[in-house]
Amino acid sequence: MATGKKLTCLTCGQLNRVPEDRLNASAKCGTCGAKLLSSKALEVDAGILEKAARNDELPLVADFWAPWCGPCRMMAPEFSKAAASLQGQARLVKLNTEDHQAAGQKYGIRGIPTMVAFARGREVKRQSGALREAQIVDWVRH
């Protein structure tokens, strides 16, 4: 029986199955070759977010933000650092609610920045307001 974790490629949307012993920085998408466990918080569109939230077997955290939002811009470097700290444990992505307004509505985002954590196809928690790196890491882990 195949083991490993299902991970959606955040670049092309292809669902990959990654063996447990290959869940590291070099894991790549079988279709497009993009890294599956980036140390960066990748920008995603609504379709990829939905697919990853539904299928991923590694925790997924989405930061809903917009370019006009000051607190979002303040949080961006902190979120990036948190993505590096959590590499291999959780994937952090960003969704621009100005470019993808329907996604903001779909997930019921009322204020930004808002982080939403998904696990096993469900939303597990959300947090509004800008946080620092250590707070983000702590929030994701607990």
Q: Which residues are catalytic?
A: 69, 72
At a CB cut-off of 8 Å and minimum separation 6, what does 123 contact? Answer: 53, 107, 116, 117
- Least separation in angstroms between CB 41 and Zn ion: 17
Q: Is 60 or 112 the residue whose CB approaches Zn ion more closely?
A: 60
At a CB cut-off of 8 Å and minimum separation 6, what does 16 contact? Answer: 6, 7, 8, 9, 27, 29, 30, 31, 36
- Least separation in angstroms between CB 18 and Zn ion: 12
Q: Is 14 or 128 the residue whose CB approaches Zn ion more closely?
A: 14
Q: Is 30 left (phi over 0), alpha (psi -120 to 50) or beta?
A: alpha
Q: Report d(CA 38, CA 18) in Å as an integer.
A: 14
Supply 68's token pair. 């006009």
Supply 13's token pair. 């949307």
Residue ranges that bind Zn ion, judged by CB under 5 A: 9, 11-12, 14, 29, 31-32, 34
Q: Is 32 or 134 the residue whose CB approaches Zn ion more closely?
A: 32
- Least separation in angstroms between CB 15 and Zn ion: 10
